[in-house]
């Protein structure tokens, strides 16, 4: 019985250590105000808190956004979906040159600490790749997945 209790206590502790869902009423006013000012059309906002950083997950129309705020309401990171035509020319050139057999399925832009990166999901028959690019078109990270 002691082992079960200890196991459950450890499992609960690990779960608490990760980001926790947070009711909107518990988000500081400067944070909710910053979200409303920057994204007045945000819908279905869900909040999480981890390491004193507030993460807002929301939609505007059909597009998904993730924005992280410090407790004063300053944006520390943002990630959002973009159209493949909105990818920088350098990335489009790399895609044409090195990944012409693939089609762009999804693209998202991440901005943090003054740096923008672009994650592109590429697909072709039976294969999927997720590649993160810098604005200069250089690959920052690659992941290859098999489709089920």
CATH number of the domain to which 131 belongs: 3.10.450.360
Q: Mapping DSSP to helix (H, G, I), strand (E, B) and coil, where does residue 55 land?
A: strand
The parent domain of residue 131 ranges over 83-148
pLDDT at 76 exceeding the cut of 70: yes
Q: Give percent of the chain above pLDDT 70.
A: 84
Q: Are residues 96 and 62 in the same domain?
A: no
> Is there a domain that residue 1 lies in?
no
| Whether 49 contacts 62, CB under 8 Å | no
Angle at 24 between CA 52 and CA 8, to 5 degrees: 65
According to DSSP, the residues that pair with 133 across neighbouring strands are 118, 139
pLDDT band of residue 39 (cuts 50, 70, 90) is very high
pLDDT at position 17 over 80: no
What's the number of CA atoms in the CB half-sphere (13 Å) around residue 53?
Answer: 13
Within a domain: residue 40?
yes
Q: Are 96 and 64 found together in one domain? A: no
Instruction: Give me the sign of the Cα torsion angle 9, 13, 16, 18.
Output: negative
56 and 93 together in one domain: no
Instruction: Looking at the structure, tell me whether residues 70 and 119 fall in a common domain.
Output: no
């Amino acid at each position: 019985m002691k082992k079960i209790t200890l196991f459950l206590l450890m499992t609960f502790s690990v779960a608490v250590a990760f980001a926790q869902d947070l009711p909107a009423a518990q988000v500081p006013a400067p944070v909710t105000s910053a979200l409303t000012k920057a994204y007045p059309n945000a819908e279905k906002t869900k909040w999480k808190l981890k390491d004193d950083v507030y993460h807002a997950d929301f939609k505007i129309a059909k597009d998904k956004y993730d924005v992280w705020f410090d407790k004063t309401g300053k944006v520390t990171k943002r990630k959002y979906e973009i159209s493949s035509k909105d990818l920088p020319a350098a990335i489009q050139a790399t895609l044409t040159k090195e990944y012409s057999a693939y089609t762009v399925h999804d693209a998202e832009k991440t901005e943090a600490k003054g740096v923008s990166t672009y994650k592109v999901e590429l697909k072709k028959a039976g294969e999927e790749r997720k590649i993160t690019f810098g604005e200069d078109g250089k690959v920052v990270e690659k992941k290859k997945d098999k489709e089920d």
